[in-house]
């Protein structure tokens, strides 16, 4: 009962932040489907024991190796912006502890997720198996190159700030697909961007919100 109360309080805080930022994001309210997914995923299962008391707080938390689990509001917003359908195939760059991938898995057919830090990838894989997330496939590697074997993707989500949008990810985005990615340098301005590819293959980029993310590991100059 206590955990259910904490989850509801977190959802209330997310919805409050949606209303506060709607002038920037264009999203006045949390999607009912995303809200339902958030309510089903217990964030305390995805954070280290040392910070489990803060698991349902609406802010990022450290997960080791210089990485963080994102603020739930940002997780909700990025998921919402993808506008997923049940048959979609999604690529995630930056698995972390697996919280974002778990939420995505409830909203689409398949999630492929890549984590640069091998130790985090290994622990996330075990966590997915233990919690029964059968439609998530994970590997350790450089997310800059995407995962071409399973492309194209209906949606791509990047959970670390790149200085530019990686070309391979644009190539692997399906016609009509959407990508959400923070762009900018560490300790400098970062902007959450929504990227869409129209029927002619042209790319449209929309700035959504100023954000703070850990840097994209393995990024290369193109």
Query: Residue 15 maps to which CATH number?
Result: 3.40.50.150
| In-domain check, residue 76 | yes
Tell me the backbone φ, ψ of residue 126, rounded to 5 degrees: -60, -40
**Selection from 92, 116, 114 nearest residue 104 by Cα:** 92
| In-domain check, residue 186 | yes
**E strand residue ranges, 61-187:** 61-64, 67-69, 89-93, 110-115, 136-140, 153-158, 173-184
pLDDT in tens, 109-141: 999 999 999 999 999 999 999 999 999 999 999
Quote the percentage of the chain above a pLDDT of 70.
99
The better pLDDT of the pair 196, 187 is held by: 196
How many other C-beta atoms lie within 10 A of the C-beta of residue 217?
18
- pLDDT the model gives residue 36: 97
| In-domain check, residue 12 | yes
| 49 close to 33: Cβ distance less than 8 angstroms | no
70 is catalytic: yes
Q: Is the pLDDT score of 2 beyond 60?
A: no
pLDDT in tens, 37-86: 999 999 999 999 999 999 999 999 999 999 999 999 999 999 999 999 99
| In-domain check, residue 130 | yes
Q: Which of 70, 97, 105, 123 is catalytic?
A: 70
What pLDDT band is residue 4 in, cutting at 50, 70 and 90?
confident
Structural domains in the chain (count): 1
Residues spanned by the domain of 152 = 2-211
**Rounded Cα gap, residues 62 and 10, in angstroms:** 18
| In-domain check, residue 10 | yes
| In-domain check, residue 201 | yes
| In-domain check, residue 31 | yes
């Amino acid at each position: 009962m206590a955990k259910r109360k904490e989850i509801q309080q977190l959802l209330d805080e997310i919805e409050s932040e949606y209303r506060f930022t709607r002038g920037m994001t264009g999203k006045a309210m949390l999607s009912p489907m995303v809200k339902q997914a958030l309510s089903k995923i217990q964030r305390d299962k995805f954070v280290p024991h040392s910070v489990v008391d803060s698991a349902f707080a609406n802010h990022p938390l450290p997960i080791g190796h210089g990485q963080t689990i994102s603020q739930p509001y940002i997780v909700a917003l990025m998921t919402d912006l993808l506008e997923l359908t049940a048959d979609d195939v999604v690529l995630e760059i930056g698995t972390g502890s697996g919280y974002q991938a778990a939420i995505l898995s409830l909203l689409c057919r398949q999630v492929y997720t890549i984590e640069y830090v091998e130790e985090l990838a290994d622990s996330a894989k075990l966590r997915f198996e233990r919690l029964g997330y059968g439609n998530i496939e994970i590997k350790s590697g450089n997310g800059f190159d995407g995962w071409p074997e399973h492309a194209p993707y209906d949606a791509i989500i990047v959970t670390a700030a790149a200085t530019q949008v990686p070309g391979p990810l644009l190539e692997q985005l399906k016609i009509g697909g959407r990508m959400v990615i923070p762009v900018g340098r560490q300790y400098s301005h970062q902007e959450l961007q929504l990227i869409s590819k129209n029927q002619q293959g042209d790319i449209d980029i929309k700035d959504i919100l100023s954000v703070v993310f850990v840097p994209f590991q393995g990024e290369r100059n193109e």
